[in-house]
Amino acid sequence: MTGFDTRAVHGGREDFKAMGVHASPIDLSSTYPIPDFDEGTRSFAAWGAGEGEAANSIYGRFHNPTVARMENAVAGLEGSEACVAYASGMAAITALLLSRRAQGNHVLVVRPLYAATDSLLTNGLLGFDAEFVDANEIAAKIRPDTTLVVIETPANPTCDLVDIRAVVEAAGKVPVMVDSTFATPVLQRPIELGASFVVHSATKFLGGHGDVIAGVVCCSEELARPLRKVRVSTGANLHPLAAFLIHRGLPTLGLRVERAQANAIELATRLSQHPAVAKVFYPGLGTVNNAHLVGTQMSGPGALMAIDLKGGSAAASKVMNSVKLMVPAVSLGAVDTLIQHPAGLTHRSIPVETLGKYGITAGMLRLSVGIENVEDLWADFEQALSGL
């Protein structure tokens, strides 16, 4: 197998030479001519059954060649047999949950995790019985109707790590879903550790430039078929232009993550020594749960961190309103540095007492470090933190 960076550059481009192109074509067709009726009916049946290939695309809701090339590229980076793309990260998670419904409605969930995922599991919309547990409770909580174990590592927003291999062992025959958005396949590949599903909000690092909304699920071909059936039935397709943008961003994924991580390591170290900062949540500092997994499960500590300010909500508000280079905005994984307030924004839907249990305070800010000059980022922090 070729190296990661080589796969990132060349993945999903295997047919370019035959087509005589150097950049991915954007196929915007909503429907496709059917020159042979029998071939058309066979293709229609194949897409309806969740197959990944057929002779004719038939209709844009069933299959799009631009999207398929991007899916193949991401699967190659994750080391999975298949990848299924959706219109957003939440569409991907929703489809995954729906694909598991026939096997049961009990889901074990390890907090903390992205608030929208948390809310989807608890708001009753999909009818699942979601039970929130610590990772070491999973084996004892498995029931005959348990259909999925859900973890996110590193976790949003605390950057806590969860031992994927241990969770897979505890889950036994129950599939494990890992939201690996924070890590990217550059730093962590859960399929290699036994996970059944790997989810990414491709909006984040995979796209990497803040100009696309997308989600992907990487898994075996067997597990991908039900996912594609959900996509065909619900119409949660990824637009081909979005797929093109993600595919275009993948060749620089390793470079972007490595540069952002180097910046994050430096900023985390300096912030941990700042008098206005009570705590820095960052795997590279050993200040999160299971930080020992850096170097084994994860090849590096990543580009995400959270800081808890001593001045609480007022201090967090002051910093959010004072940054000049960093961008006060939700989302993450872009080339520019983004800073946001979990308790007031991304995790606002979670009860305050639940947030407090996991250390998500009114003074916490989440930082997605970009690829800018680190000294410029530090200068922005110094002026924003001054006077606290």
Predicted pLDDT at 328: 97
Predicted pLDDT at 68: 98
Question: What digits encode the pLDDT tens for the residues 50-64?
Answer: 999 999 999 999 999
Query: Coil, strand, or helix at residue 102?
Result: helix
Predicted pLDDT at 354: 83
- 312-347 burial: b if 16+ Cβ within 10 Å, else e: eeebbbbbbebbebbbbeeebbbbbbbbbbbbeebb
**Beta carbons within 8 Å of 382's beta carbon, 6+ residues apart:** none
Question: How far is residue 197's CA from residue 149's CA, in Å, rounded to a whole number?
Answer: 10
Predicted pLDDT at 253: 98
Predicted pLDDT at 91: 98
Q: Which residues of the chain have pLDDT under 70?
A: none
CB 274 within 8 A of CB 293: no
Predicted pLDDT at 359: 86
CB atoms within 10 A of CB 61: 17
Predicted pLDDT at 316: 97
Could you tell me the domains of the chain? Answer: 253-385 (3.90.1150.10)
